[in-house]
Chain A
Amino acid sequence: MQPVAVLGGDDKLLAAARTGDQAGFERLIEPHIAVGYRLAAAMLNDAAQAEDAVQEATLRAWRSIGQLRSSAQIRGWFLTIVANRCRSMRRARWWSAIPLPEARLGLRSPADTVDQREDLTKALSRLSPEERAAVFLRFYEDLNSREVAEALGITATAARTRIHRALRRLRVDLREEGL
Chain B
Amino acid sequence: MNTVTDLRQALSEEVMRLQPPAGLETRVLHQALHRSAAVDSTHIGRHRDAVRTRESRSSEAPRLMVLVAALLAIAIVVSLVFAARALHLVGSVPANPGPAGPGKLGSQPMLGINMVSPSIGWWGDDDGHLKRTTDGGVHWSDVTPVGPSPLNDYYIDASHAWVVASPGGLAPGRVGFFATGPIQLVTSITTDGGRTWLQGAAVTSYYNNWTTEGKYGPFRQISLFFVDQSNGWLLVPTQTSQTLYSTSDAGLHWRLVTEASVGQSARCRWAEMTFVSESTGWMTVECTSASDGVTPLLVSHDGGVTWHPQPLPIPIAGIDCGPHSRCATDCPLTGYVRPWSGGALVQCFGPPVFFDPLHGLLPVWSGQGAHTAQKLLITADGGTSWSARSLPGQVQLEIDFTDANHLWTIASSSDQLSNHLDANGGSASFIGPSLALPLYRTDDGGGNWVPVRTGVSLQSQQYGQFWRVQFLDQGNGFAVYGGTTLLKTTDGGHTWSVV
Contacts and interface: CB of A to CB of B under 8 A. Distances in A.
B336 A19 contact: no
A6 interface: no
Nearest to A50: B18
Contact of B2 (A42, A87, A88, A171): A171
B159 interface: no
B372 to A, nearest CB: 8
Given A117-B10, A135-B11, A95 B175 contact: no
A120 B425 contact: no
Contacts of B178: 150, 153
Contact of A97 (B28, B33, B173, B462): B462
Nearest to B480: A92
A94 B365 CA distance: 9
A168 B20 CA distance: 29
Given A88-B216, A100-B429, A38 B48 contact: no
A87 B210 CA distance: 13
A170 B425 contact: no
Of the four ranges (under 10, 10 to 19, 20 to 34, 35 or more), the interface on chain B belongs to 35 or more
A30 B173 contact: no
A81 B213 contact: yes
B364 to A, nearest CB: 12
A51 B28 contact: yes
Interface in B374-410: 397
A111 B9 contact: yes
A30 B483 CA distance: 26
Contacts, number: 233
Interface stretch (B252-260, B415-423, B433-441): B415-423
Given A34-B24, A58-B32, A59-B32, A91 B338 contact: no
Nearest to B1: A173
Contacts of B483: 92
A148 to B, nearest CB: 14
Nearest to B127: A63
A152 to B, nearest CB: 9
Interface in B14-40: 14-18, 20-21, 24-25, 27-29, 31-33, 35-36, 40
Nearest to A128: B326
Nearest to B374: A94
Contact of A128 (B48, B174, B424, B461): B424
Interface centre among B126, B323, B425 (most CB of A within 10 A): B425
A109 interface: yes
24 contacts: A20-B45, A25-B33, A34-B20, A59-B36, A62-B32, A63-B127, A63-B173, A84-B214, A85-B213, A87-B217, A88-B109, A94-B365, A95-B427, A99-B429, A99-B430, A124-B14, A125-B425, A126-B424, A128-B425, A140-B12, A150-B178, A153-B209, A172-B2, A173-B2
Interface of A: 18-20, 22, 25-26, 29-30, 33-34, 37-38, 41-42, 45, 47, 50-51, 54-56, 58-60, 62-64, 66-67, 76-77, 80-81, 84-85, 87-88, 90-102, 104, 107, 109, 111, 116-117, 119-121, 124-130, 135-136, 139-140, 150, 153-155, 167, 169-173, 176-177
